[in-house]
Amino acid sequence: MGRRLDRGPVRRGLSGWPTVQEFRRALPGLGVVVVGVAIAFAVTAVVDVSTLVVGVVLGAIAANAGVLRPTFDAGITFASKRLLRAGIVLLGLRLSMDEVRALGIEGAVAVVIVVLATFFGVQALARAMGVSQPLGLLLATGYSICGASAVAAMEPLTDADEEETAYAIGLVTLCGTMSIFVFPLVGRALGMSDELFGTWVGAGVHDVGQVTATASAFGATALATATLVKLTRVVLLAPMVFGVGYARRRRLAGTSADDPAVDGANDAAPNVPLVPLFVVLFLGAIALRATGWLSDDALGAAKDLEEILLTAGMFGLGAGVRFARLRRLGGRPLVLGVVSWVLVSGAAMIAAYVVA
């Protein structure tokens, strides 16, 4: 198992928030996170790459270079848990239900089919290839929904360690980046229309930023279509997390009933959340956006804050990675990642031609 940062200093108080004392203990680590986020944004101002990717890489480099002292653990954990989840909540403000409805029933059904086929298909491949269940679940979530953000949303419901989480984020990011170059080449070779290409990109590329970069190669129409389809996939994040939480709770309860020797299982099952609180808040953010109360300036500010929080969270995740342990995962997850990328790309292309 990978290194687990100390989570004690950021336990919630009676109000559900960290106490003042606990927050103070997190401040040194949060200072390091702030520096990491600033560097990530500076890098992306020069190089066309996601700040989330840079954040993970910087965190991993800092951890493996030995520059992170134990006193930083509390703040880094705060970033990898609390700040990351706050960013996912704000992601809900990107979703306009009017845009989702504009996709139509046929398009929405196609998106759901692609998501489900990818989610269950990747997990089946993981089992067949001997990849661990937690890593397979994280990869399935990342490929089927929205990349690194989806991996982070699902992580609390798995037994994945930091190395597996970082590996999943790295793989979906790598393949999503490959899509930026491969999808336009394939689209032009097949003579795809702008709308068809946009549908394929929205259904098959993982991260929202990668969707934007990929679809832009075909112009404004492709970009608008891709964004619409992509955001429809993001809406499915909450029900997917709910389903996994429900299944896990039933599995733990069933394990305790079938095998009384499993100590503590009866106590563990009720503590498995059906849906983490931040996913409920994510749905609340979608509902708030639907009211039309927020101005364009407010939505723009929320988007900027979302990127900052997600980058901070990714830095925290990266800081939990140890390269020596990462190598122990072997090459199978890498092969699984590439095969999964081909799977979701193929399923998305079929769906795009069906609804076109």
Q: How far, CA to CA in Å, does 183 sit from each of 54, 175, 205, 343? A: 23, 11, 9, 14
User: How does pLDDT run across 194-211, given as a tens digit for each residue?
Assistant: 999 999 999 999 877 778
Residue 273 — very low, low, confident or very high, per pLDDT cuts 50/70/90? Answer: low
- CA–CA dist 76, 296 (Å, integer): 32
CA angle 310, 312, 316 (to 5 degrees): 110
Which band of pLDDT confidence, cut at 50, 70 and 90, is reported for residue 257? low
pTM of the model: 0.71
How close are the terminal C-alpha atoms of the chain, in Å? 46
CA distance 145 to 235: 9
Q: Which residues contact 11 (CB under 8 A, 6 or more apart)?
A: 18, 22
Three-class secondary structure of residue 18 per DSSP: strand
Lowest mean pLDDT among 38-47, 120-129, 268-277, 329-338: 268-277
CB–CB of 209/50 below 8 Å? yes
Q: How far apart (Å, rounded) are the C-alpha atoms in residues 287 and 92?
A: 8
**Residue range 142-166: mean pLDDT, rounded:** 86
Convert the pLDDT of each residue in 303-351 to its tens digit.
999 889 989 988 987 887 777 666 777 788 889 999 999 999 999 999 9
* CA-angle at 54, arms to 241 and 47, nearest 5°: 130
CA distance 210 to 343: 18
Kindly report the average pLDDT of the chain as a whole number. 82
Residue 355: partners with Cβ closer than 8 Å, 6 or more residues away: 106, 107, 110, 199
pLDDT at 178: 84
Residue 10 confidence (pLDDT): 41
Query: Which residues, other chains included, contact 194 with Cβ-Cβ below 8 Å and sequence gap of 6+?
Result: 218, 219, 221, 222, 225
Q: Which residues, at least 6 apart from 307, have a Cβ–Cβ distance to it below 8 Å?
A: 51, 52, 87
The pLDDT of residue 149 is above 90: no
Whether pLDDT at 224 is above 60: yes
- Confirm if 321 and 64 have CB atoms less than 8 A apart: yes
Q: 323-333 pLDDT, tens per residue?
A: 766 677 778 88
**Domain spans in the chain, listed from the N-terminal domain onward:** 20-355
Distance, CA of 143 to CA of 75 (rounded, Å):
29
Quick one: pLDDT band at residue 116, thresholds 50, 70, 90?
Answer: very high
- Mean pLDDT value across residues 27-32: 94
